[in-house]
Amino acid sequence: MIKIPVPDYIKSLLVDDWEEVTKNLSLIPLPAPKPANMIIDEYFDEEKEKRFPGSAEMDLLEEVRAGLKEYFDVALGRTLLYRFERQQYKEAIKAWTEGKGEWKGRTCAGDVYGAEHLCRMIVQLPEMIAQTNMDGQSVNRLREEMTKFLQWLNRNTQTYFTAEYESTNQDYKDQSKGVGS
């Protein structure tokens, strides 16, 4: 299995995230001010300046950008949520489907959820990649690209990670117990 080095600070943010949601029964406010798709696009915009248009490195960057977005949308509801977040997810789907107010223009999970959920996905990538038929060279290039992305995100945690979680009321806590995992 491949190893994607996750910076220690991001690891600590993920531990804090787990505690906030599972122990303190708090939630990340949605929609995120800087959702996953925006984070990926901002990294892409910054990183593409360092690559030659039409080069293999640029093609790889574009492929990783598209793949991260697509996979995030598929993985969020299946593997990236803690049980306590599932009720919020159901409510978020309804809100982005209706598209009113702050939800206008948000059409998928990548437009709603932010850095915490994106990083949850990235730490699961090695396990997921092991189940694919990617060749060794492709796996190495993906690992290198993800390492660069995580280093960039580590330098920008203040911009992208949630500063404060929101408390939940008893109704939400009761409803979340009835939502399957």
54 sits in the region (left: phi over 0; alpha: psi -120 to 50; else beta) called left
DSSP assignment letter at 131:
T
Q: pLDDT tens track of the chain, all 181 residues?
A: 788 999 999 999 999 999 999 999 999 999 999 999 999 999 999 999 999 998 988 999 999 999 999 999 999 999 999 999 999 999 999 999 998 889 999 999 999 999 999 999 999 999 888 888 888 888 888 999 999 999 999 999 999 999 899 999 998 988 888 754 4
Q: Longest C-alpha distance within the chain, in Å?
A: 54
State the Cα–Cα distance between residues 78 and 117, nearest whole angstrom.
Answer: 12
Q: Which DSSP symbol is given to 168?
A: -
